[in-house]
Amino acid sequence: MEALFELLLRASVSIAVLFTLYWLQLRNSTHFKANRFFLLFSLIISLVIALIPIHYQVIVQASAKETFNEFIGVFNNNITNENTDINTSNGLSISSLLYLIYFIGSALVLIRILIQCRNPFLIMTSSTPKKIDNCLIHENEVYNSPFSFFNRIFINTEYFKQHEINDILTHEKVHIHERHWIDLFIIELLTVFFWFNPFIWFFERAIKQNHEYLADEGVLTRGHSLVRYQALLINQLMGTQVIGLANHFSSALGPTRFKMMTKEKTTKRKLFRMVWGIPVLAILLLAFAEPEYKQETVNTETEAFVSSEINADNIKISGKVVNEDGINMPGTSIILKGTSIGTVVDKDGTFELDIPKSEKMALVISYVGYKTIVEKINPAEKKVHFDFELQRGIVSIDSKSMNLDGDVPPPPPAPEFDKNSDKSVFVIVEDMPHYPGDHYGLSQYVKKKTAELKSKFGNKLSGKATVGFSINEKGEVTNIQILDKSNDVAAKAANSIASGMENWKPGTQRGKAVPVNFAMELEF
């Protein structure tokens, strides 16, 4: 629901800006076809910008911290999520009230359009049209003023007794041949969704007015008398029933329409005013561009690589890696600390690795979602077989980092590793779970959700709470639980924040999705 209203807001801003440009630069131009294109293009591009914003990537480097170890013993990996609905008021919230008003308004506008279209459709289905100059004409006594509706012309029976019938038919045929009904269908449909935006109604008026300019131009270029044609328009001032999807003969009738009939043609040079749309469009694209935050997790145990030469004499070590339940952990990364030498645990949980002899050596054993093990190796002990048991860890997200990273977007990308190096490097293919927008996106979500909870709880919401949760192989938030709290209200708020999160991109170990536990500290 929030995504829909964000889309409507973005499109509304674009609609307002582009109509302002039209009003300032093009509304008095006699290049009516160009104006028609500009008006339609403005509406369509406003929707496209809102629906498909451009993206740019921002790379953030941050160390993955496996703290909150005091919660490892109490974190339950197999619990059913609690119902986190928070009812603090019997009435509607402000956001719910706004949603209700919006949908009621949309429904009323849609009903209005359907009611207006009812009679024309009934006339079309209950009468046989006349065919004059390849146009289908429905005679009726319901409407006094003639109009075109889609590809049909509706005209009162009395008009066939008048000498001006040719002028009227020529006018309406221009609407049909130039398919003005397409413009009307688009703008009327948009009024259903953007009824709250006054600029959408300005667009509707401008489009219909421009249609009449085009029809008037079509009539006069076919040799019809200007004086008689204007007199005919004046006679249509009374008794007009307006239909949104119809082009009425007397629509937009006023001094401006008469002035446009006799106005000197605008020079083609002034068409270049449309070029102003390019910088305006560029500004809108940049304003609505969405960053994609890619967070590179730096493992502090393995980030350093030595540049000095190591003793050429190697020793072969082997071992097995399992988790706390004794299950093999294939894909676990084994790397010699401070070097680019490493291997991967096989399907049976075993590994072998040739390492150079050195007085100070240590193996780093890492797997996403588990505590990293650093095992020192002493060549003097001549131990070549090692068994490791990985303990599931909890990745911390503390309140201070949430506050700092939630205020402004992350910094620009850091310099990349030298790709031209000819040294053999063992790559640790581990990826922690990522929230949409990464840590910055999570921070923004927490700030927004906290503001909503503040409006519900008021001053009762204060203190701290630590909520634990797991991101499973599908990226779903599971095992939501309160690990620590200063009061019950803070606990309920933390639970609500965790349960309302979008699905994450799951963590992976060498391409395989794996579950990861988190503990998020929140301060209200």
Report residue 317 as tokens.
């070590």
Give the length of the chain: 524
Say whether both 154 and 103 belong to one domain. Answer: yes
Q: What is the pLDDT of residue 408?
A: 44
Q: How large is the average pLDDT for residues 373-394?
A: 84
Say whether both 203 and 345 belong to one domain. Answer: no
CA end-to-end span of the chain: 25
| Residue 322 confidence (pLDDT) above 90 | yes
C-alpha 45/C-alpha 282 separation (Å) is: 12
Q: How large is the average pLDDT for residues 151-169?
A: 77
Amino acid at 185: F
Say whether both 42 and 132 belong to one domain. Answer: yes
Alpha helices in 222-313 (DSSP H): 226-235, 255-262, 277-287
Residue 477 lies in a domain: no
C-alpha distances (whole Å) from 22 to each of 202, 278, 321 are 11, 13, 69
| Residue 72 confidence (pLDDT) above 90 | no
C-alpha 407/C-alpha 87 separation (Å) is: 29
Q: Which residues pair with 145 in a beta bridge?
A: none
Handedness of CA 328, 330, 333, 334 (dihedral sign): positive
| Residue 185 confidence (pLDDT) above 90 | yes
Q: What is the pLDDT of residue 410?
A: 46
Say whether both 268 and 389 belong to one domain. Answer: no
Say whether both 174 and 323 belong to one domain. Answer: no
Rounded to the nearest 10°, the torsion over CA 455, 456, 457, 461 is: -50
The total of structural domains in the chain comes to 2
Say whether both 301 and 283 belong to one domain. Answer: no
Q: Is the backbone of residue 35 left (phi > 0), alpha (psi -120 to 50) or beta? A: alpha
Alpha helices in 353-506 (DSSP H): 399-405, 438-457, 488-499
Contact 66, 519 (CB under 8 A): no
3-state secondary structure of 32: helix
- The DSSP secondary-structure symbol of 314 reads E
pLDDT bin (cut points 50, 70, 90) of residue 107 is: very high
Say whether both 319 and 282 belong to one domain. Answer: no
Q: How large is the average pLDDT for residues 41-55?
A: 90
Report residue 510 as tokens.
């060498």
- % of the chain residues with pLDDT over 70: 76
Q: How large is the average pLDDT for residues 372-377?
A: 87
Strands 135-140 and 147-149: unpaired
Last residue of a domain, one of 344, 369, 393: 393
* Closest C-alpha among 514, 311, 309 to residue 431: 514
Residue 406 lies in a domain: no
Element (H, E) at 185: helix 180-193
Of the two residues 253 and 450, the one the predictor is more confident about is: 450
Q: For residue range 425-460, what is the model confidence (pLDDT) as tens digits?
A: 455 567 888 888 777 788 888 888 888 888 888 888
pLDDT bin (cut points 50, 70, 90) of residue 401 is: low
pLDDT bin (cut points 50, 70, 90) of residue 162 is: low
Alpha helices in 408-524 (DSSP H): 438-457, 488-499
| Residue 188 confidence (pLDDT) above 90 | yes
Say whether both 264 and 330 belong to one domain. Answer: no
Q: For residue range 290-316, what is the model confidence (pLDDT) as tens digits?
A: 766 555 554 444 444 343 344 456 788
Say whether both 141 and 263 belong to one domain. Answer: yes
3-state secondary structure of 272: helix
Q: For residue range 404-417, what is the model confidence (pLDDT) as tens digits?
A: 544 444 444 444 44
C-alpha 505/C-alpha 440 separation (Å) is: 15
| Residue 114 confidence (pLDDT) above 50 | yes
Q: What is the pLDDT of residue 20?
A: 94
| Residue 102 confidence (pLDDT) above 60 | yes
Contact 58, 291 (CB under 8 A): yes
Report residue 196 as tokens.
């709250």
Last residue of a domain, one of 369, 393, 417: 393
pLDDT bin (cut points 50, 70, 90) of residue 356 is: confident
Say whether both 334 and 282 belong to one domain. Answer: no
Contact 479, 517 (CB under 8 A): yes
Residue 262 lies in a domain: yes
Instruction: Tell me the CATH number at 385.
Output: 2.60.40.1120
Amino acid at 459: N
Residue 511 lies in a domain: no
Residue 444 lies in a domain: no
* Closest C-alpha among 102, 316, 64 to residue 194: 102
Residue 63 lies in a domain: no
Q: Which domain holds residue 207?
A: 2-53+94-287
Say whether both 121 and 174 belong to one domain. Answer: yes
Say whether both 119 and 146 belong to one domain. Answer: yes
Residue 489 lies in a domain: no
Give the best-scoring range by mean pLDDT among 67-81, 132-146, 342-356. 342-356
Residue 493 lies in a domain: no
Supply the mean pLDDT for the chain: 79
Last residue of a domain, one of 372, 393, 414: 393
* Closest C-alpha among 178, 199, 222, 247 to residue 37: 178
